[in-house]
Structure 1
Amino acid sequence: MTFSAEDATAASEPFRRLVEEVGKTVVGQQPLIRRMLTALLAGGHLLIEGVPGLAKTTAVACLARAISTDFQRLQFTPDLLPADLTGTQVYRPQDQQFVVQKGPIFSNLILADEINRAPAKVQSALLEAMQERQVTIGSETFPLAEPFLVMATQNPVEQEGTYPLPEAQLDRFLMKVVVDYPTRDEELQILRRMSKTKAEILVNAVTSPAEILQARNHVDQIHVSEAIEEYIVDLVMATRKPVAYGLPLEELISYGASPRATINLTLCAKANAFLEGRAFVTPADVQTIAMDVLRHRVIITYEAEAEEKTPEMIVQTILDGVRVP
């Protein structure tokens, strides 16, 4: 049975209501809320970067409340241990045996707050859970419940007490969203809404984990034409071999995006089309999402840093230079 535009519009309606619910508490930050939904529908994880105080944590907490799902907030600190996330084996003297005590990672929605304030061994403890959707404790392996989503916030790496995330872990994130300061009007609205000794989170549950899993099935049915597929592959290939696309970026890119980027860019474009109420992907869907999918996967050279180039500048050059179907 063909998935039509009418089907897409009807199926995506609860998620438009979800945006409205989160917006009752979170002022502005529409791109962030939209990317959170995209990650949820595409079945990937989201890395949110921004200075403290920009409602990153609040936005994720509001999303969990609007979905009516299990939610765990993990505050990453320099003294955190891997077992604090995944759990450990505990000895029971009365039984004279070890039993598994599961950690907070066993939840549907995980907020890894300030993830880059914990050392690499703790960050790496998330790798198996994020990629394999399972956790190994001792000799036992436990599957994680679906939907499972890690939304990690991090402070800019220039700030005190931060550790850069390993490239292998960065690649596990579907998207990296950079959150900026609100506009003047938004700041005024924040002042009027939140300047209370006890600010309320006015979010009602509008969907459920079961509906999210059903929506993912709809996302899988979104049509991607051959021309769009080739466009996505060209964008990713241009991060590895820019000269082949007439882009003078060879000396600026140390490592390009992996095949995981191709998969994730396609999934995110389909999820974006679904949220727009369409049953097919357009080049605009790809372009809308490409920066957030690619920015953390393009590793720049020392020459690029010396020239004050950023991964965002390079990705934008690729988007401008690769032919659009």
Structure 2
Amino acid sequence: MDLDVFVTAHHTEWDRLDQLLGRGRRLTGAEADELVALYQRTSTHLSLLRSTAPDPALIARLTQLVARARSTVTGSRRASWRDAGRFLTAGFPAAVYRSRRWWIPTALLSVLVAAVIGWWIAAHPEVQASIGASSDLREMTRPGGQYETYYSSHPAASFAAQVWTNNAQAAAMCLVLGAFLCVPVLWILFVNMLNLGVGIGLMSSAGRLDTFLGLVLPHGLLELTAVFVAAGTGLRLGWTLVDPGPRTRRAAVAQEGRAALGIAVGLALVLFVSGLIEGFVTPSGLPTWARIAIGVAAEAAFLVYVYAWGGRAARTGERGDIESADQSAELPTAA
């Protein structure tokens, strides 16, 4: 291809496209149609130049021109407060609700594992001895010991921020690593339940299980629920790779992945609340019943939010995904 001849033949079209783009939204109907046609032709010209007569300066100009035209033709939409409101009132709770068949069994099985580990440690002194020296264990479990002072060892605000960061990181890992066929998620869950089971076992063996539960339940109900939701969603994402259902594997993973990303953002807010409870309520001087009542109220509020708002949104077709207008078109596949 003779580059000079090609430029001479088409430069007026490129200049006209540039002129129309410069007018922004002040286009008549005919001019808008002309812009679309010029965009399509210029895209073809750019493709031809890249494959037959690469000229860096010309390709750079046409690339910029095509990008501007694409943005004008396809349009762009900025996130708004409406999107945030839709996410909080419909998208996030609906996504959690839709994942309930994964995270509820995950929660029940995980709690059972923690309870079994706790019983095993409490009932077997030799297992306790393998965890640490008897003097160290007494220091951890005695009144005013490490299990109790842990929650008041730092200023409440900084402790809440630290707890929130750590828990949000664990939840995000469960969501992201679910794509690796679920195995890392199961390991993260087991480590968390092992730590909980050790605390149950050691404090139970010291006759202070009630104290331990009084410290854990205020923030732990909501915190563990968030972790279980993250783990269940991660497991669901991993299983989608194995069984995408009637959708193509690519479309299924993309859809579930976007929903999982939304759940990650929502759970960060949930864990922020549990972090506040752990930083300000758990170490407070409130009676144990009052601290537990606050934790139960926070947990109940979250479950009502998921089942009432999320269930209603899910029944109307909400999946926790981005709006259909913002999704990429999918090619039809043979049945």
* TM-score normalised over the length of structure 2: 0.20
Tell me which protein shows more helix as a share of its residues: 2
Tell me which protein shows more strand as a share of its residues: 1
Q: For the pair shown, which has the larger CA radius of gyration, 1 or 2?
A: 2
Tell me: higher relative CO, structure 1 or 2? Use CA pairs within 8 A at least 6 residues apart.
2
* TM-score normalised over the length of structure 1: 0.20
